[in-house]
Structure 1
């Protein structure tokens, strides 16, 4: 349990790296922001019977909740890794484990809420998801290792 504060910080750093890579991708490819975080927030609120307010208020809340869910997934994935990782795995192993854990943590709620279905994703869709999560894994592994030294 002593490793959880380091894992949380590492997960936040990794989430920031994921966002930076995502924004770079948006800039380079001139693509719009994904609507899946906001749609996930909307479906989650609906499932939990939480009223987000009138349409403008709800839109503003979804715009805030969506990214917060992403940070929760990133910090949570790092915490799970810290609890499950035996000893001090190699950096490449840690990066791979964190990348996959973060992808699962991000996609599972969206899939369960029927916001997306990874089974229908194209190879380009998978690459667009993998690359930012790989940045997350690398930065989280590096930060966690540095904090635990």
Structure 2
């Protein structure tokens, strides 16, 4: 199977796991969804001089664009891992940690650069809330990558 396709599939599996972990956290802690992806989508649209509309229409578009950016980040992390590990089989701890780090960096670095969050200001609970879903991403993406490499 082509390396890019394998990376996209592994990234999709990881993104599904990340979303499931996030929704379980929302269910267990009765918390609302983060508005940061919407804020980032709005900032990107402003920077690109793209009109998302007004009022409720703009809000819906920001919400959709924020979610799509998350899927793109998951796919990108999977592809990066597939390209970097091509021809090698990393042991599970290293592979899972590499995928987790790629996903966390791929999501948090752009958000910080856009000014929608500042990880330096996060509490321990904030870090755990971010790390656990990304770890779920790493586990699922690694498992998919290994299964596709068999």
Fold-level match, TM-score > 0.5? yes
Alignment partners' CA distance in 2, 1:60 and 1:119: 29
What is the match of residue 19 of structure 1? 19
TM superposition shift of 1:63: 1.2
| Unmatched runs of 5 consecutive residues or more in structure 2 | none
Superposition TM-score, scaled by structure 2 size: 0.96
Deviations 1:25-44 (CA, angstroms, capped at 9, x unpaired): 00000111100010010011
What is the match of residue 104 of structure 1? 105
Runs of 4+ in 1 over 2 A off after TM superposition: none
Alignment partners' CA distance in 2, 1:147 and 1:81: 13
| RMSD between aligned residues | 1.1
Alignment partners' CA distance in 2, 1:4 and 1:93: 20
TM superposition shift of 1:18: 0.3
Deviations 1:105-127 (CA, angstroms, capped at 9, x unpaired): 00011111000000000111000
| Unmatched runs of 5 consecutive residues or more in structure 1 | none
Aligned residues: 149
Alignment of 1:95 onto 2:105: no
Matches within 5 A, 1:127-142: 127-142=128-143
Alignment partners' CA distance in 2, 1:84 and 1:6: 12
